Structure 1
Amino acid sequence: MEPPIVYYHRSEYIETDTGNKVSRKSVICGSQNIILGGKTIIQTDCVIRGDLRRTGGGHAVVVAIGRYCLLARGSIIRPPYKTYKGIFSYYPMKIGDHVTIGEGSIVEAATIGSFVHIGKNCVIGRFAIIKDCCRIEDNTVIPPNTVVPSFSIYEGSPGAFVDELPECVQDLYESKTKDYYAKFQPKDS
């Protein structure tokens, strides 16, 4: 099934040199600490917290997002945090290529691999690791520190393994994200 063409008003989005399309109605804090890989779409009402970082020296990149990613309306991306030996710290988050994060989802993972689909209204707990080629179904809660293995489908609250994905999923997700990007077009008006 072909995805429909999605039109947006050119004035509502900022397009970067690398083809990222970022809604002016999204909230991006600490943009100097956020890296977008290129051809990523950040829709209306998304929140990315790049300002939540360790104090002092060290990591300047707080959130790294790969190529051809989609952050749907109302999704929230914030780095994981913990108190270690009495010191409260934030830790960096890395999101791979060809990742879709559904509407209203909250992500505090340490790592999300490439070719991952996260459904609507999901909660990805602190320091969760989602390996490459996974699908998290709508309304799923992945508990903190969970490792989701490659080629798996997780569902429920708390999220649990329900099925396996075929090995061709990488190609499917890649073509899906590239098609979505190609069909996310400005409305000429």
Structure 2
Amino acid sequence: MSSYVARASLGLASAMRKVGSALDGAGKGIEITKYTEKLVPSTRFVAVDGIGPTVSAECFVAPSASVIGNVSIGKGSSIWYGATIRGDVNEVTIGDRTSIGDRSVVHVAKIQGDFPTHIGSGVTIGPGALVHAATLKDGCVIGEAAQVMDGAVVEEKAYVAPASVVTPGTKIPAGELWAGAPAKKVRALTEAELSSAAEAVLQTAILAQEHAIENAKDYKQILEEAELADIAEHLDESSPRKPIKDINDVLGQGPPGRIFRSTLTHPYEAGKKN
């Protein structure tokens, strides 16, 4: 009996796939605008209780990133591969030109203090970091695998060192370096360090646009580019090439030691001929 049910289920599934494919083709045929199948489709934007993310068209959100619920992201920001931003029980706001690194998690709190997460502009959050119901002001840096916990506030241009833990309710003043678990003040940041952090924000924004362009391509564009690259390589191989001159060549007779019976290797023979 179980084998009969399994076969029936497989047959029904196959029939439904065929019907779905037929409906998809019919839908494409009556669309007003051209349908484009992306190379890497993704359900990265998810609504919760009817509230979905508000993301600027100038952002880069990687295909494997997830943006969920009441989240707003400003212009030029980037959400990198594997990152998760979850505004399901409270809101998350992210300013302009802020980068959320690979595999980072940004979340909120409802039960303990009812904290949202507010992230300013020009903020850099390193790979694997956790920002939970905290406030990050403009220009601050959260290092790789660092944690900033509920109710914490990181002021402008402050730096939390990699793998550090900023405990709940901690306030980090502007322009300071904090490190450790729990994080403590180490020193004030230098002008060179502040300048370097600002430059990194610009470079990351440029890099994000390059990734956005590549991820927006469909499979046809990928194939066309591969074909053009193949043609260019073929033309380069078939074009005549100038012979490479041997740096050891002497008077056009080859390198010393490899010249067969020349005046250079056997000068006494040249004298006999004269």
Check whether TM > 0.5: yes
Does residue 37 of the first structure (1) align with residue 77 of the second (2)? no
Indicate the percent of aligned positions where both proteins have the same amino acid.
23
Partner of 1:80: 109
Partner of 2:137: 113
1:16-95 superposed matches below 5 A: 18-30=57-69, 33-53=70-90, 62-83=91-112, 90-95=114-119
Alignment equivalent of 2:127, drawn from 103, 106, 109: 103
Partner of 1:58: none
1-side partners of 2:174 and 2:161: how far apart?
15
After TM superposition, the runs of 4+ consecutive aligned structure 1 residues lying more than 6 A away are none
The superposition leaves residues 92-147 of structure 1 with CA deviations (integer Å, 9 ceiling, x where unpaired) of: 22101111111111111431001111111111111100000111111100100000
The superposition leaves residues 139-159 of structure 1 with CA deviations (integer Å, 9 ceiling, x where unpaired) of: 100100000000100101110
Amino acid at match of 2:100: L
Does residue 145 of the first structure (1) align with residue 169 of the second (2)? yes
Alpha-carbon distance change, 81 to 149 in structure 1, aligned in 2, over 3 angstroms:
farther
Q: Which runs of 5+ in 1 are unaligned?
A: 1-9, 54-61, 85-89
1-side partners of 2:206 and 2:189: how far apart?
25
Question: How many pairs are equivalent?
Answer: 164
- Following superposition, the deviation at residue 183 of structure 1 comes to 2.6
Amino acid at match of 2:96: R
Structure 1 length-normalised TM = 0.78
Secondary structure class of the residue paired with 1:52: strand
Q: Which runs of 5+ in 2 are unaligned?
A: 1-37, 45-54, 223-274
The superposition leaves residues 68-100 of structure 1 with CA deviations (integer Å, 9 ceiling, x where unpaired) of: 11111110000134446xxxxx33221011111
2-side partners of 1:11 and 1:137: how far apart?
37
2-side partners of 1:138 and 1:157: how far apart?
10
Which structure carries more relative contact order (alpha carbon 8 Å, separation 6+)? 1
Secondary structure class of the residue paired with 2:200: helix
Q: In terms of Rg, which structure is larger?
A: 2
Partner of 1:174: 198
2-side partners of 1:17 and 1:157: how far apart?
35
> Could you say which structure has the higher helix fraction?
2
